[in-house]
Structure 1
Amino acid sequence: MPEIRPRCPLCTGEMKKNGKRNARTRWRCKNTTCGISEQTHRPDITAKRHFTYFHNHVTGIYPITECARLMKVSTRTVYRYFEPLWLIEIPNNPDKHRIHDQIFIDGTYTAAGCLLIASTPDHVLCWHWCKQETTHSYTQLLSKLAAPLCVVLDGGQGAQAAIKKLWPSTLIQRCLIHAQRVVRRYVTSRPRTEAGREIYNLALELTSRETVQQARKWAVDLHKYGLKHHDFLNEKTPLPPEINRTGKR
């Protein structure tokens, strides 16, 4: 492979090596009437070096002080090097023709807004920034993917509506952790009633079911719970006659 030689910035003629300075090669123009001498600059190599340390920093390998030590600069200089790198847009172009058996979708609220994420058990597929978890936002997220066999979500109405609109034949699975949290929200972690204690124990058993037989047994136990406490669950507190439908006396 021939050596890549720079051209003279003044007469665009060929240049030849002319020693080194500060461990960098100097070049001199072969044209005797010009004879300009300079050192070439490689901003691409510098940018690659900065991005390598930036990637190590954001992925948790090096703290900012370690980056400064390895780069032999101050921490303020490292922050200055890293400032434009935060604006690099990460590629978000998933394969629309790849069908996954199961994907997980959820939203995370940050200071910059709500970040919707679609992922598999192994890696993130795509994401979408929005203000709230709405049907439109989830539609923008899921439209980038092919219809999977099953979607696991936290139970948000916006996500369910988007899935039924885009993927009507896809199964919807409620996240077991979120199901446990809903039960704990209503009965607390120390229920006072017998029915509350039993349903909370059933909720805790959700995440320990790993086989189809165990899942069937859990469904049978839930059915038995409904039969046992049928009357208790159907109890209702009637409003006094002096309170109308609007809640005002």
Structure 2
Amino acid sequence: MLSAEIASITCDGHKAPLKAIRKVCPDVPVQRCLVHIKRQRQIWLTQYLKAPVTQELLYLSKRITYLKTYEQSNDWLADLYHWYERSKTYVNEKAVQHTGAFSFIYKKPTSLSLYAPEHLKDYLR
């Protein structure tokens, strides 16, 4: 039988693989593939690009490609958290549907904490 120590896992961010990874390798750091982050950014942000809040997030998200160190990643996550704190009223806007139900106007970034270092996850939930 082959044995190997897994240092980290990079994946596309889908829920099923993440759930399996957490079950089988709970202590292994998981990160999302940069290509998948860029694609999701394009889908989410180009719809509402005129809003200053969205332009800020687009600028912030483009910085992901340049993160090289753990410290830079922590700084980026802190900047993302501060952006969200300043922008949460806009992000959480809801509209009333014809049925009377409420729905979010803008697609919510539900998994900000998914790939954060453990000590920052509580801030991003």
TM-score by length of 1: 0.37
Encode CA deviations 1:62-81: one digit per residue, 9 max, x unaligned.
xxxxxxxxxxxxxxxxxxxx
Q: Figure out how many residues of one structure are paired with residues of the other and give that number.
A: 101
Please say which structure displays the higher CA radius of gyration.
1
Structure whose residues are more often strand by fraction: 1
Q: Percent identity?
A: 24
Is 1:235–2:93 an aligned residue pair?
Answer: yes
Q: Do the aligned residues in 2 keep the contact of 1:153 with 1:174 (CA within 8 Å)?
A: yes
Question: Which one has more relative contact order, counting CA pairs under 8 Å at least 6 apart?
Answer: 2
Q: Structure 1 residue 190: deviation in Å?
A: 7.9
Aligned to 2:118: none
SS of the aligned residue for 1:237 comes to strand
> Where does 1:52-63 land on structure 2 (aligned, <5 Å)?
none
Aligned to 2:76: 218
TM-score by length of 2: 0.69
Is 1:182–2:88 an aligned residue pair?
Answer: no
Q: Which runs of 5+ in 1 are unaligned?
A: 1-94, 100-147
Is 1:206–2:64 an aligned residue pair?
Answer: yes
Aligned alpha-carbon RMSD (Å)? 2.2
CA–CA distance in 2 between the matches of 1:202 and 1:160?
A: 25
CA–CA distance in 2 between the matches of 1:235 and 1:166?
A: 38
Encode CA deviations 1:210-237: one digit per residue, 9 max, x unaligned.
1222222211211221121121112111
Aligned to 1:98: 4
CA–CA distance in 1 between the matches of 2:60 and 2:47?
A: 12
Q: Which runs of 5+ in 2 are unaligned?
A: 102-125
